Amino acid sequence: MTADLQKGRMGPRACLLGLLALSVAGQCSYSPEPDQQRTLPPGWVSLGRADPEEELSLTFALRQQNVDRLSELVQAVSDPGSPRYGKYLALEDVADLVRPSQLTLHMVQKWLLAAGARNCHSVTTQDFLTCWLSVRQAELLLSGAEFHRYVGGPAETHAVRSPHPYRLPKALASHVDFVGGLHRFPPTSTLRQRPEPQVTGTLGLHLGVTPSVIRKRYNLTAQDVGSGATNNSQACAQFLEQYFHASDLAEFMRLFGGSFVHQAAVARVVGQQGRGRAGIEASLDVEYLMSAGANISTWVYSSPGRHESQEPFLQWLLLLSNESALPHVHTVSYGDDEDSLSSAYIQRVNVELMKAAARGLTLLFASGDSGAGCWSVSGRHQFRPSFPASSPYVTTVGGTSFQNPFRITNEVVDYISGGGFSNVFPRPSYQEEAVTSYLTSSPHLPPSSYFNASGRAYPDVAALSDGYWVVSNHVPIPWVSGTSASTPVFGGFLSLINEHRILRGHPPLGFLNPRLYKQHGAGLFDVTHGCHESCLNEEVEGQGFCSGPGWDPVTGWGTPNFPALLKTLIDP
């Protein structure tokens, strides 16, 4: 070891000794997330260094095995042409496949034990380990990290994060993907309350989107509700430090749920329900999932396991890896700019979404509320895709508006509807035909330098996202807009279809995309008019992609025509 040090470097044996001694200096260390954006999100301020004795909860993502095999199995159980279609894996099967090697488990546990980590908890798949350490211990363990206290967001949320990159012993490079709880801040809502459109006279008009408007537009009858007698269930997940109130849900159903059978209460809340004011987005998610997927048992993941040093979305992923019985449909309104996330994090989260798909879970993510997005790279503008909307293993939901905002008419693009092409994930095979057709036939393509034409394209489907009524803090609030509205609506409809499938002895729909694209969007209203927003410059003048016949990167295949969609999806 002395000879190695005299040469200014450390050999393999010295590096191993350094690992056990918690030394991560020089050439014996590496940065798992060198590309993680560490700029402070707007609205957040530092309160200074964290107390060295303050307790932190950090999550260590352990390297998985057989990820390629997992990908093959997802394809097999999700493709209607496969003999394995619908034969989903149990959580234990997934665990047997991806569980880290014994060497990985031993190395990481020994390293954490030597650092003084305590109260460590794993998950069924053993690929995450969450431990408690003091700030002092964490800064010694993760070289370069320096924990600060922050406050920000509309709810004055508190968080403990490091503004500096962290490094791990190089001996762990093949064992740890990333450490959660250092950089990524809790998300903030992009939901908007738009000004009420002006109109003269109200004969034959509606005054905003309610459950009855949705059910009429998408052709649901009073009989299109759950039976209340199956093991069918659905869930929404919330990570915004805001909560729904049971009394708001009851009032919403009293005002707007009189024309259909529904459940008046959430069946299960996973996580912590705050005692403060209700949040509009949390209220919206629950109210419209439970009115679209009417009379179906509903769970709410409410900032699950939240601690100031934890990442709420990551905690939700851990819960999915630790429960064998889960709702069949999950709707999520969370997203981050792809470029703000490290490659290690984004690839690992994608595997977590793959694990859910293998188990037959339908994950729907909002496509975002910034159109194509925009950012500047080396002085040139580009569109800005969102993740997890861009993951090839989720169904992404865009947004539409009524052509006439006061009449139940055909739909056009809602200009905020997120969509585009991933800069991280290549185009999956299931959408090759649809995306190629759009790129070769669309008369309104933006300049090719603005997007990665070979990337995973999204959204996959859409629903109304403009002008919703929501009850929050006992007050009916009009004209709430965002893909956070369209996502639970589409999810609720899929839950109704699952109900029919389960009653016929069929498995739930699972990961929908391979079937959706193979059937060319059958059962959906094609949205062919409108464009979404993008960069405000002379080159594109605020216009991103435009909708057209068939699939497009603004509204996907279109919005649900429930009877036709049910007919298309009810049987294998």
Task: State whether the Cα torsion 39-483-434-328 is positive or negative.
Answer: positive
Active-site option among 134, 302, 309, 484: 484
Q: How confident is the model at residue 31 (pLDDT cuts 50, 70, 90)?
A: confident
Q: How confident is the model at residue 14 (pLDDT cuts 50, 70, 90)?
A: very low
- Report d(CA 502, CA 231) in Å as an integer: 8
Centre a 10 Å sphere on the Cβ of residue 349 and count the other Cβ atoms it contains.
Answer: 22
Say which residue, 443 or 238, is predicted with more confidence: 443
The pLDDT, as a whole number, for residue 248 is 96
Task: State whether the Cα torsion 20-24-27-32 is positive or negative.
Answer: positive
The pLDDT, as a whole number, for residue 438 is 98
Active-site option among 33, 79, 281, 352: 281
Q: How confident is the model at residue 196 (pLDDT cuts 50, 70, 90)?
A: low
Over residues 100-126, the mean pLDDT reads 95
Say which residue, 114 or 153, is predicted with more confidence: 114
Q: In the predicted model, is pLDDT for residue 18 greater than 50?
A: no
Q: In the predicted model, is pLDDT for residue 89 greater than 80?
A: yes
Q: How confident is the model at residue 132 (pLDDT cuts 50, 70, 90)?
A: very high
Segment 214-236, tens digit of pLDDT = 999 999 999 999 998 778 999 99
Q: Which residues pair with 377 in a beta bridge?
A: 380
Q: In the predicted model, is pLDDT for residue 11 greater than 60?
A: no
- Report d(CA 283, CA 271) in Å as an integer: 16
Segment 259-289, tens digit of pLDDT = 999 998 999 998 877 667 888 988 999 999 9
User: Annotated catalytic, 285?
Assistant: yes
In the three-class reduction of DSSP (H, G, I as helix; E, B as strand; rest coil), residue 570 is classed as: coil
Q: Which residues pair with 157 in a beta bridge?
A: 152
Say which residue, 168 or 202, is predicted with more confidence: 168
Residues at the annotated binding site for Ca(2+)? Answer: 526-527, 550, 552
The pLDDT, as a whole number, for residue 109 is 94
The pLDDT, as a whole number, for residue 198 is 52
Q: How buried is residue 420: exposed, middle or buried, by Cβ count under 10 Å (0-12/13-18/19+)? A: buried
Q: Which pTM was predicted?
A: 0.92
* Structure tokens belonging to residue 231: 């093991």
State how far the alpha carbon of 170 is from the alpha carbons of 2, 58, 62, 174, 341, in Å: 19, 19, 14, 8, 22
Lowest mean pLDDT among 67-71, 74-78, 178-182, 508-512: 178-182
Segment 440-491, tens digit of pLDDT = 999 989 999 999 999 999 999 999 999 999 999 999 999 999 999 999 999 9
Q: How confident is the model at residue 203 (pLDDT cuts 50, 70, 90)?
A: very low
Over residues 409-425, the mean pLDDT reads 97
Q: In the predicted model, is pLDDT for residue 201 greater than 60?
A: no
203 Cβ neighbours under 8 A, 6+ residues apart: none
Active-site option among 33, 224, 241, 285: 285
Q: How buried is residue 419: exposed, middle or buried, by Cβ count under 10 Å (0-12/13-18/19+)? A: buried
Q: In the predicted model, is pLDDT for residue 160 greater than 70?
A: yes
Residues at the annotated binding site? Answer: 526-527, 550, 552
The pLDDT, as a whole number, for residue 192 is 60
The pLDDT, as a whole number, for residue 9 is 37
Contact call for residues 269 and 300 (beta carbons, < 8 A): yes
- Report d(CA 432, CA 457) in Å as an integer: 10
- Report d(CA 217, CA 60) in Å as an integer: 46
Q: What ranges make up the beta strands (E) of 448-518?
A: 455-458, 461-464, 468-472, 475-481
In the three-class reduction of DSSP (H, G, I as helix; E, B as strand; rest coil), residue 511 is classed as: coil
User: Annotated catalytic, 281?
Assistant: yes
Over residues 505-515, the mean pLDDT reads 97
Contact call for residues 242 and 273 (beta carbons, < 8 A): no
Q: How confident is the model at residue 241 (pLDDT cuts 50, 70, 90)?
A: low
Q: How confident is the model at residue 36 (pLDDT cuts 50, 70, 90)?
A: confident
Average pLDDT value over all residues in the chain: 89
| Tokens 């209340």, residue located | 228
| Tokens 């006061």, residue located | 406
The pLDDT, as a whole number, for residue 29 is 80
Q: In the predicted model, is pLDDT for residue 32 greater than 90?
A: no
What is the b/e burial string over 422-440, where b = at least 16 CB atoms within 10 angstroms of the residue's CB? Answer: bbbbebbebbeebbebbee
Q: In the predicted model, is pLDDT for residue 307 greater than 70?
A: no
